[in-house]
Each structure stands twice: as structure tokens, then as C-alpha cells.
Amino acid sequence: MLLTDPIRMLPSLFLPLAGVLFIGGFSPGSFGWAAFGVIGSVVYAAVRWATFTYQVVGDRLELTRALVSRSVRTIPLERIRGVDVSNPPLHRLLGIAVLRIDTGAGGDEKQEGELDGVTVEEAERLKAVLLWHARARMARRAQAQEAARAAAGPDPALPGPGPAGDAVTDPGAPTGTAVPATVRHEVGETTPERVFFVVPRKWLAYGPLSGAYLLTPFALVAGAVGLAFQWGSELKIDGRAVVSAGEWLWGHPALLVGALVLLVLAMPVVGAIMYAVFNWDFTLRAREGYLIAERGLVTRRSVSLERRRVRGFELVEGPAERWAGLARAWAIVTGLGDSETRGQLMPVVPRAIVLDVVGEAIGPIATGLRPHPAAARRRRLFRAVFPWLVVAACAAAAAVTWSPLWWGLALPALLLAALGVPLGLDRYRSLGHTYDGARLSVRSGSLRRSQAVVEERAVVGWTLRQTWFQRRAGVLTVVAGVGAGTGGYEAIDVGEAEGVAFAAEVTPGWLAPFSTDGVTTRP
């Protein structure tokens, strides 16, 4: 920790140290102050290490820090929903790890605990201990439910005596901790470890097709330019020099085209490298009531998701991914912060594989999507074409009235309007919704097509939204409120009757007070 903490603080110390050196003219005094800053960071790390302790006391985990004032963070063990273990490069070199505790506190990472710098063995031991307490909590809840059923008398809908009604004991639990077999699947106590999928290394070739990594070269160049402008004054870099360099490059078209070609050629290479860095040996497995995703080349990360909190999944496809038949998937989980990273179930792999694996791990959607009305297609085409036609018409009028130079804007606008036709049709084909009796699904988008599959029990409310233009077209947007993921998933431009029927189909009792003889009434 005396090494990792100062290195982690280097980015925040870089500007002050650079400022001290430049202001002091790289004199012995400036180097002395810079050395004092580095030594101070090491001393600060040493004090933080010496004043931080953690312990499991009864039914809680206590994290104590007494750097200036004493603070104790208490995390009830029954609130722990998941434990993540990551190994950044320097941590892997030193044999230590970072353990983060997910309490399901509304997805706010600031309310979670973190142990940075424990040994890998200690991280795995703590992970097992903390997750066992979570499983014990589920076992106690299951026992209470079983006792309530027994007190209420036999239920013909439940299995009778025999293997289905037997109880099993967790070998790692204290004596007497038994889990009724009727709730084994829910509790996950006796489920053996199962590997759903390991991404083959040859599939690293799919990295360049992912929109998340494909534009990395351009992002790096833009970041470097922004860094030069932001830190120019501290590093004595004249911003005008950066502008002059850009103007000089613009004045040499051959060099500019060559630089763009190099960036384009670097896109697939950098995309494959970034895909490998983040998704090396991606493994999805189930163990004792948790979905565990492990991945990473430089930083190895293991994320545990409590299966009871998983409410569905989201399938995402970009244009290049759809062309190649690929997709990505994230879990829709209650109380999960940073779900784009921590909730990843599958990286960019063949779409059929994603559906098979995610359907097996969480649950499939058993029916196809229902199409939306023709009015939705007209709205998609109007939005994709009409704005560019307006721009083209205004530019053409300006070219005729004032200057022919305006044709330089009118012609590209016409081209974009023409390209809007296939884009609008594709956006319409992407629309859809369905319900199979257990899960509902909605899909929309073209450049980023997203399909959410959510369990019926996750729906906590409905919003039926209709703009003035939608009322004219006879369509509306149905939003299923979900206490997980983004909080709501939309079925866009559904017919008015179909939208109300969709909500009533999923939760029939909720809309009954607003309908008369099956016909929904308006206030």
C-alpha cells in the first residue's frame, strides 16, 4: 500500500509538481519542494494504512479509519448483495487485490465499502464469508416462508412429501441451517458451480466491430488536443501553437489525408487491443446463488451479481455488430451502480450465442416481437428526412438569392435526406414489443439498437405518454417502470389500443379501475 497509494495519487499530484518545477525554473529549490511533495504522499499513504482496520463483528462488517477524526462505517452483512474483486496491474504484481462490497443501496457507489490492498487470498476468503452470510439470509427467509406455509396447512399447488419437500443443509453453514428443497432454486444454496460460457480467444477479432472500441484512435487524438488546451498554461504550452499546427496541417491536404488514413487503419487494430484488454478470458458462471463474470487482461475483475436481484437483461447492437450478427448483453439488476461495467453479461460475440447463454442464465423471451403500426413508420421517416430537406431548401434559396457558395451546404443536406430514408425504415423495423406470460420485451433504436427483456414481477408502474404529434398519428409511448436498470423501458409509437392492451396484459389488475366493460376511460 505504501507503493500503490502514492502511484494512484500521481495524476492529482502531476499538475502541482509540474507547476513547482516550472515556476522555480528547475532550480535545486524547486526539485526540493517536488521531492517534499512525493515524500509527503508516501507519508500520507503510510498514515492511512496504519489507521485503517476492518473486521467482521457479529452480523456486521466494520471499516474503521482514524486519520484525523475517527470514523466507523458499518455494513450489515444481510445487506450485502454482491462482492467484486479486481486486480489492477500493480496490484497483480504485488499479489494484492481490491475488494468492493455492493449493498444494493440504490446504485450509489458512495454507500458501498471498499478494501484496497488486501492479499488475493484474503480477498477470496472475505468474499466467501460475506456472500455466505447473504445466502444464510436467504435461507432464513426461505425457512420462514416454509414455516408460514406449514402453519397455513397443505396447499394443493405445492409439492407434497417426498424428495421435493425434503430439506438440505449447506455444508458450510452452522448446524441446523437447512433450506427447504421447494425453494432451492430461489435460494441457490445447493446449486453447484456451473460455467455458462468462456469467450474463446479467437473471438478477439470481433473487437473492431464494437462501437465501444472502434473510435478509440480518434478519441485519443481528441483527448490529446483537449489536454494541450487544458494544461497548456501550467506546462507553458501556448494554445496558439496548437492552433497554428492545426492550420498548418489543414494547409497541407496530403498530410491531413495521410493522418486520417492512418487513424482509420488503426481503428481495427486498436479496437482488437482494447477488446482484449477489457474482455480477455471472459467467463460467465453461476455459483451459490450468484452470477459471476470474470474478465480482463491488464486488470482482472470478478463481479458477483445476486441472482435474486436480476430482473432481466438488455441486448445491445450497433450497426457493424448487426451486420456481422453480433451483440452485447447487460444484466438488469436492482440497486446496481455502474451497471454498464459491473452488469456486463456478455461482450461482443455472435448474437445467437448471447441469446442462448443469457436465456439459460436468466431466462429467455419465448415469443417474437409484435410490429408497430404504419404511423410509426411514417414518423420515423419524417424525423429522418424532413429536417435535412428544410436545411437543403433554405441553403438552395440562399444560393439563388445571395451566393452560390450556399450550394456547398444544400447538396450535403440533400444527400443526408436521401440517407435518412433507409435509416428511418431501419428504425421502424427495430421497433417492437411483446409479452410471453412471464417476461415483457421492448426494442428500439438503429445506430444503437437496444432490446430489454424484463420479468413481469419487476414492473412497478406504467406511464402512457402522448405528444401532440402522437395524438394526431394515433400512437403513444408505453413506459414500463422497473425498479432496476435505467428505471424504465419504452415501447415507442405503439397504437393507442395496442399500448393500453399491452399494459393491461402484463398487469391486468392495475388498469381495471380505469376501464368500464373492458374499455379504458379517459378523465
Which is nearest to 333 in space by CA: 324, 321, 341?
341
Give domain 54-155+163-190's CATH architecture: Roll (2.30)
What is the number of other CB atoms lying within 10 angstroms of the CB of residue 429?
A: 15
Place of cell 405503439: 494
By the 10 Å C-beta count (0-12 exposed, 13-18 middle, 19+ buried), 483 is classed as: middle
SS3 content of the chain, % helix, strand, coil (to 5): 50, 25, 20
What is the number of other CB atoms lying within 10 angstroms of the CB of residue 179?
A: 25
| Amino acid sitting at position 211 | G
Per-residue tens of pLDDT for the chain, all 523 residues: 778 877 776 666 665 666 655 665 566 666 676 677 777 777 888 888 888 889 888 788 888 887 777 788 888 887 777 788 888 888 888 889 989 887 765 444 444 688 888 898 898 888 888 877 766 666 666 677 677 777 766 544 444 443 333 333 444 443 333 333 333 333 334 456 889 999 998 888 888 777 666 666 666 666 666 655 555 544 445 555 556 666 666 666 777 677 777 777 777 787 788 888 888 899 999 887 788 899 888 888 888 888 888 899 999 998 888 988 999 999 998 876 556 667 889 999 999 999 999 989 898 888 889 999 999 999 999 999 999 999 999 988 988 888 888 888 888 899 999 999 999 999 999 999 999 989 999 999 988 899 999 999 899 999 999 999 999 999 999 999 998 778 889 999 999 999 999 999 999 888 766 655 544 444 4
Residue 80 is predicted with a pLDDT of 78
H-helix or E-strand spanning residue 306: strand 300-306
Helix (H, G, I), strand (E, B) or coil at 252: coil
What's the Cα-to-Cα distance from 69 to each of 8, 51, 52, 117, 437, rounded to whole Å? 23, 10, 12, 22, 55
Residue 475 near residue 493 (C-beta atoms within 8 A): yes
Cβ neighbours of residue 86 under 8 Å, at least 6 residues apart?
Answer: 97, 98, 100, 296, 299, 300, 301, 302
By the 10 Å C-beta count (0-12 exposed, 13-18 middle, 19+ buried), 109 is classed as: middle
H-helix or E-strand spanning residue 419: helix 407-430
Cβ neighbours of residue 376 under 8 Å, at least 6 residues apart?
Answer: 428, 431, 473, 475, 492, 493, 494
What is the number of other CB atoms lying within 10 angstroms of the CB of residue 426?
A: 17
The distance in angstroms from the start CA to the end CA of the chain is 64
Between CA 428 and CA 446 the distance in angstroms is 9
Domain segments of the chain: what residues?
4-50, 54-155+163-190, 201-279, 374-429
